[in-house]
Amino acid sequence: MRLHRNLVFTVIDSLMAIFNEGQYADKVVAIALKKDKRWGSHDRKFVAETIYEIVRWKRLYAEIAEVKEPFDRDNIWRMFAVWAVLRGYTLPDWKYFENTPARKIKGRFDELSKIRKFRESIPDWMDELGVKELGEELWNKEIAAQNEQAKVILRVNRLKTTKEKLRAILMDLNIETEFDSKYEDALILKERANVFLTQAFKDGLFEVQDASSQLVAPFLEVKPGMRVVDTCAGAGGKTLHMASLMENKGQLIAMDLYESKLNQLKLRARRNGVHNIEPRVIEGTKTIKKLHEKADRVLIDAPCSGLGVLKRNPDSKWKLQPEFIENIKKVQAEVLENYSKIVKPGGKMVYATCSVLPSENQEQIKKFLNTESGKNFTFVKDVKVLASESGFDGFYMALLERKM
């Protein structure tokens, strides 16, 4: 396996931006992939996957390379050399690789792999928190699963096609997919491919959405003709799924603090052929008060630590701080308190997070049910999805019903 200079330089530049300028890996990768129009799919795959790999294993590689943050360019070259040696590449005779101790790298790797925080490449505080909340055995499995590369999952848009038809269309493009009986609308790609370039995507036949995230809309039991409120809609992955389950009938109010996200949702809705969504920017308590006791169904896709989606966002291992998690729990409690008032008597609400920590999930629901607002609700059921068991993202969802 040969290393190509222009591809490797792109990787090094990208890692500098992620590690030293605090830029988000997905944005940096997107820019990197547009750098040279002559690159084929193989080249782009090398660039994207190598950047993500080195971000994912940052702590382990830095330890082996004996470099410390903030990394200068030489440090990043040393980490890249570690990656290349461990991946079995023959190092070319570039000046950056002079005196690379291949044997020592492999020895250090074997040694450090015995210690979980290095083996799984995570900060000390995250390792301690995981053990405290999930226990040693489960955390071991979960963090290992979170370090595997995420699969690409499509959600078929029922308003426009069926799973079988979409599968056939993609098969004609040499994109092979498979079904999983546990996920009604999901098509799982057998190999990664840039599905956004397909005509099927441009025609709104599908969205890219993790399988675990696809469980949320059906869990809320939305039906055509209902009034449904998505309180933290963002760019609307789950909103669009609910619209398709509602067959475009009824009213779907998509709320968010950020207008830019709702603008993205409008574009996606147009492509999906969805016209029952009404975007509303949350401008204060007034926006919420207007909806008190008005909705049949409410989704609270709560802000969270994202500790269930590390495989998708490996750089968040380094961006997250323990105090953020403490603060986000307060936000979750406030969101439950405020948005639960939108549910009308007899209506239902789902609280969901993409975290695997009980303190953000089951414990939040338990606390809420003991508050004044929470006493109006009955707990129906909840689902805990672990990456180590499902192979997809870690997720939590709880269904509550408002008493008549």
Write out the two tokens for 76: 């990043």
Q: Please enumerate in sequence order all residues whose Cβ is within 8 A of that of 313, keeping only pairs 6 or more positions apart, or say none.
A: 25, 26, 306
Pairing of strands 153-156, 186-189: antiparallel
- Long-range contacts at 27-33 (CB < 8 A, ≥ 24 apart): none
Is 256 flagged in the annotation as binding?
A: yes
* Residue 354: active-site member: yes
The values of phi and psi at residue 21, to 5°, are: -110, 5
Write out the two tokens for 189: 């790609």
Half-sphere exposure of 68 (CA within 13 A, CB side): 0
Query: CB 362: neighbour CB atoms within 10 A?
Result: 14
Kindly name the residue from 216, 245, 354, 385 that is annotated as catalytic: 354
The identity of residue 355, as a single letter, is S
- Tell me the helix, strand and coil percentages in the chain, rounded to 5: 50, 15, 35
Query: CB 155: neighbour CB atoms within 10 A?
Result: 26
Is 74 flagged in the annotation as binding?
A: no
54 and 61 Cβ atoms separated by less than 8 Å: yes
The values of phi and psi at residue 184, to 5°, are: -60, -35
Write out the two tokens for 111: 């040694």
The identity of residue 399, as a single letter, is L
Nearest to 66 by CA among 115, 105, 117: 105
Q: How far is Cα 156 from Cα 161, in angstroms, rounded to an integer?
A: 7
What are the residue numbers of the active site? 354
Could you tell me which residues are annotated as the binding site? 256, 301
Binding residues for S-adenosyl-L-methionine: 256, 301
